[in-house]
Amino acid sequence: MNAIISASELASDLAGENPPVLLDIRWQLSTAKAAGAPAFDGRAEYEKGHVPGAVFVDLDADLAGPAGSAGRHPLPDVERFGSVMRAAGVSADRDVVVYDGGQGWAAARAWWLLRWTGHPSVRVLDGGLAAWSGPLEAGDERPEAEGSFVPETNTTDLLDADAAAALARSGLLLDARAAERYRGDVEPIDRVGGHIPGAVSAPTTENVTQDGTFRPAADLAERFNSLGASGASEVGVYCGSGVSGAHEVLALAVAGIPASLYVGSWSEWSSDESRPVAKGPDPQ
C-alpha cells in the first residue's frame, strides 16, 4: 500500500462505503514556550476547523512519552497509545489516514507509530490540511464506536543510541535536521550542536515541493541513492526528537526504501555527555 494519499483520493474514500478512520495531528515545533510566549495549540486549531470526521490526537501527550533523558519525544507507553488509538476509532481491519497542518512531520510520527505497532494500512495526507479543498467542520468529534486496535511492537524498525552509532559505521544513518544544526553552526534547542559521527546530512525539508507535497517517488529515490542508500545497506534516520525523522522515513517509504528510526534522536544523544559529537559538513 502507498504510504501517502492525495486530497482527491481521500475525498473519494471518505464518500465510499467503508471510509477510513481520520486522525488530525495538528502540531508545530516551536521555541516560543521557552521564550515565554504561548505554545502552538493544536487542539484549538483543530476545533476551529478540520476535515469532517477527523478525531484530534495530541502529539506531545499521545504520541510520545514524557520528555527526559530518552529525548524530548520518546516512545509513548504502548498500552496507553493503544488505548488512545481505540478511543479514536482505530481498528486493525480499517484503513487509517492521518494529517496535520501541512508540514507533515506530526502526521508522519503518527504514521510511523501505527506502522511500528502493527497496523497494516496507514497513509498520510500528502500536503496536509493545506491540500484539502473540501469543507471543514468546527468543534470536537468522537467516533461513533471505539476501535479494536491492539498494538504489537517490533524491533526491526527501531534504533536506540548504540544501534544508531553502529549503523553510522556499517550502513547509512541520515540526519533529517537542518544542515546548520547538523554542522553545529547553531543549536536552538538541545545541549550542544553537531551530529552523530558518521551520519550523513539529509534535511527532510528537501523531500517536499514548495506546496508541501512529496517530490515524485523517482526523484526521492534518486536523492537517497545519491546519499548512499544503495539498497544493499541498512538505512536509519534521526532528527531532533523523532518527529521530522519520521517524515524522512516516510519519504524513504515513498521512494521504496525501508528505514529504521532512532526515536531518541539528537535530543537523547546530545544529553549524554559520554557520546561523541562531530561538527562541520563532513560525516566524521
Question: Which phi and psi angles does 117 have, rounded to 5°?
Answer: -95, 15
Distance CA 104, CA 114 (A): 15
**Phi–psi pair at 67, nearest 5 degrees:** -65, 145
- Name the active-site residue from 239, 251, 259, 261: 239
Task: Tell me the DSSP string of 181-226.
Answer: HHHTS--SSSSS--B-TT-EE--GGGGB-TTSPBPPHHHHHHHHHH
242/128 Cα distance (integer angstroms): 19
For residue 239, indicate whether it is catalytic. Answer: yes
Q: Which residue type is seen at 1?
A: M
Q: Which amino acid is at 255?
A: A
| Residues recognised as catalytic | 239
